[in-house]
Amino acid sequence: MCILLFKFDPRPVSKNAYRLILAANRDEFYHRPSKSAEFWDSSNEILSGALVTNFLTGDLDSYTYLKKVSVEGHLYNGFNLLAADLNTTKGDVICYYGNKGEPEPVFLNAGIYGLSNSLLDTPWRKLEYGKQLFTEVVKRSQDLTKEELVQELLTVMNNQQPQLPDPAIEEQGKDYIRPVLNEYAAICVRCPGYGTRTNTVLLIDSEGWVTFTERNMISVEDNQWKTSTYEFKLYT
């Protein structure tokens, strides 16, 4: 029951504004092995947890890549993909494709979006609540230091208030989800053996400077977390 919230502004009018503000939770079984996001090699060109490898290592633009994926989308279980080309000389583009939605990827306009275990902006109550909290922080982003903005976004992503009733989540989860509905209906999921293991915050400012912050659970028993931050500038 992962959740992702982001604001896309390809042409910020203020030098202090952000081209992209993104906050996400990865929900997973607590004891399933996983790796933290890191640079893949000494070139420091790819920072990720090793997902969507073909896009990151290839030379296709975001729309062309998602168009290629969409041709075989019907062969897979449900998935969502966001792909972006962020370039200070050519302008910014973000594209979305969900294989249970439209047959082809779409270009996203400037705005605030949310994504959980359904198609983009499906109005689940937890997602709508997350977008509300996220929007309130984003509105103040130019008045906050970068560190303050990251912390406030992490606070949003760790909100455990259940957003019920929500028939849409009940219907999708059916009998499996009903015993833990209160926990699943929150932005931050905390169930026995399963829940939010990673918070990610990504900031890209008007000049192309990137701040990537990842907060990872390292011990569920002791509630221990490790926070890593990477800062670099996009290639132009």
Could you read off the pLDDT of 1-14 as tens digits, one per residue?
A: 699 999 999 988 88
> Residue 195 is encoded by which pair of tokens?
């829940």
DSSP secondary structure string for all residues of 169-193: HHHHHHHHHGGGHHHHTSSS-EETT
- Burial label for 224, CB within 10 Å (0-12, 13-18, 19+), is exposed
The answer to whether the Cα torsion of 96, 101, 105, 108 is positive or negative is negative
Q: For residue 92, what pLDDT is reported? A: 93
Question: What distance in Å separates the CA atoms of residue 174 and residue 167, rounded to the nearest whole number?
Answer: 10
In this model, does residue 98 exceed pLDDT 80? Answer: yes
Mean local confidence (pLDDT), 13-22: 91
- Cβ atoms within 10 Å, residue 229: 13
* More confident position, 84 or 178: 84
Q: For residue 150, what pLDDT is reported? A: 98
Q: For residue 236, what pLDDT is reported? A: 65
In this model, does residue 170 exceed pLDDT 70? Answer: yes
C-alpha of 102 from chain center:
20
Range with lowest mean pLDDT among 46-50, 73-77, 78-82:
46-50
Q: Give per-residue pLDDT as tens, 207-234.
A: 999 999 999 999 888 889 999 999 999 8
The answer to whether 177 touches 117, Cβ cutoff 8 Å, is no
From residue 3, how far is each of 8, 25, 46, 85 by CA, in Å? 17, 5, 23, 22
Q: Give per-residue pLDDT as tens, 25-73.
A: 999 999 888 888 888 877 778 887 685 778 888 899 999 999 999 999 8
Q: What is the CATH number of domain 3-233?
A: 3.60.60
The pLDDT > 70 percentage for the chain reads: 97
The answer to whether 144 touches 152, Cβ cutoff 8 Å, is yes
In this model, does residue 157 exceed pLDDT 90? Answer: yes
The single residue listed with the structure tokens 């833990």 is: 180
Instruction: Give the count of alpha carbons within 13 A of 50, CB side only.
Output: 5
- Cβ atoms within 10 Å, residue 161: 13
| pTM for this predicted structure | 0.93
Which of 78, 180, 169 is CA-nearest to residue 125?
169
Q: For residue 57, what pLDDT is reported? A: 86
Antiparallel, parallel or unpaired: β 91-98 and 47-48: unpaired
Please give the mean pLDDT across all residues of the chain.
Answer: 91
